[in-house]
Amino acid sequence: MNPGRLNKRIEVWYKVKELNDLKQTVQKDKFKTKLWAAIIPQTGKSFSAPADTKQAEITHKIEVRYRNDLKSNMHIKYRGRRFDIKYILDPYEKHEKLEIYVSEVVE
């Protein structure tokens, strides 16, 4: 893995369940860590959503150094953008890098 390609500073977040003032269970985002990463665009598509709104879904591959604490129920933030993790691959089970496949919905 070429560490020079990891030129983006991303944040990893996850959801936690908490009780609010009304004793209701709500999910809140909680910060996990910052990582150096490479963000590689993959595909994009445009579609119509309810109420005549247009949306675009863009998929990316994010590469980071290997670590075993990232899960597919987390999400990534980068410069005000949110990327939902679809799945995580460890290529050839080498434990050198992770390929995180994400989608970003742009409204």
Domains held by the chain: number? 1
- Report pLDDT for 46: 77
Residues spanned by the domain of 55: 3-106
Residue 71: CATH number of its domain: 2.40.10.270
pLDDT in tens, the chain (107 residues): 787 899 999 999 999 999 988 989 999 999 999 999 999 999 887 777 676 777 778 899 999 999 999 999 999 999 999 999 999 999 999 999 999 999 987 76
Which residue spans within the chain are E strands per DSSP?
A: 8-19, 25-49, 53-65, 75-78, 81-89, 97-106
pTM for this entry: 0.84
User: Are 31 and 16 within 8 A, CB to CB?
Assistant: no
Question: Measuring CA to CA, which residue among 61, 57, 39, 51 is closest to residue 106?
Answer: 57
